[in-house]
Structure 1
């Protein structure tokens, strides 16, 4: 699916951002996923390797096509003005491309920003956390 997902609008609370992200990701809704990021947002693919802007957006279809569904659990959120630090645990679990069971888990550290519309979007997405 690549169209709007009703539950995937950027949230008015930064604590809701991981849940909204998971809903759009699991729906494979690249339009809704992109709407959850600032235009210049940075995504850390792995420690030391990041993509931003148009390169980040161009990678979305491949990312959701190859990924196993995600579940997230917000651990902590710290807000200073229009900036928030989100720390959340995630698990990708389900059948892999070869049909075998796959489980990948980690702790993400993400930075979000509140826009002029009062909604929160990712500015830095770092699924590798402190790795």
Structure 2
């Protein structure tokens, strides 16, 4: 997508983070998605396999390149000081390596950290944090 990062603003309201993530992910703009994470963030996009740094970045890029789209809604948000915990119901349609569209869903557990700039970012992103 050709949207510029300047057109996408991080939020100072932790309860809006899920809505912002869905917007960034579905836009196809990889940089928008990456801007939502702390530099040392941990993402567990496959149960039991945490990703950080470049591995996480590649995983985001691959999902977006395959045309994945998602919907999500925050079920619970708990905020204290510079830390927030979100419980999120989500669904995603994603094309796997064989070209088959898969329908994925889960209940995510996300930990956000408030930056010095007053904006929230994911420190831990665990879409499969709560098993059904």
Q: Which residue of 2 aligns with 1:58?
A: 58
In angstroms, what is the RMSD of aligned CA positions? 2.2
- Which stretch shows the higher mean deviation, 24-33 or 62-71? 62-71
The alignment partner of 1:9 has SS state of: coil
Q: Distance in 2 between matches of 1:42 and 1:94?
A: 21
Q: Does 1:36 align with 2:9?
A: no
Q: Map Cα deviations across residues 14-64 of structure 1 (whole Å, 9 max, x no partner).
A: 111111110110011100100000011000022210111222123221021
Shift of 1:67: 4.7
Return 5+ residue gaps in structure 1 as ranges: none
Return 5+ residue gaps in structure 2 as ranges: none
The alignment partner of 1:110 has SS state of: strand
Q: Which residue of 2 aligns with 1:124?
A: 124
- Name the TM-score, length of structure 2 as normaliser: 0.85
Shift of 1:123: 0.3
Report 1:4-43 matches (<5 A).
Answer: 4=4, 8-43=8-43
- Which stretch shows the higher mean deviation, 59-68 or 116-125? 59-68
Q: Distance in 1 between matches of 2:89 and 2:6?
A: 24
Count residues in correspondence.
129
- Runs (4+) off by over 3 Å: 5-8, 93-98
- Name the TM-score, length of structure 1 as normaliser: 0.86
Q: Distance in 2 between matches of 1:74 and 1:86?
A: 7
Q: Map Cα deviations across residues 68-88 of structure 1 (whole Å, 9 max, x no partner).
A: 311111100011210000001
Q: Does 1:113 align with 2:128?
A: no
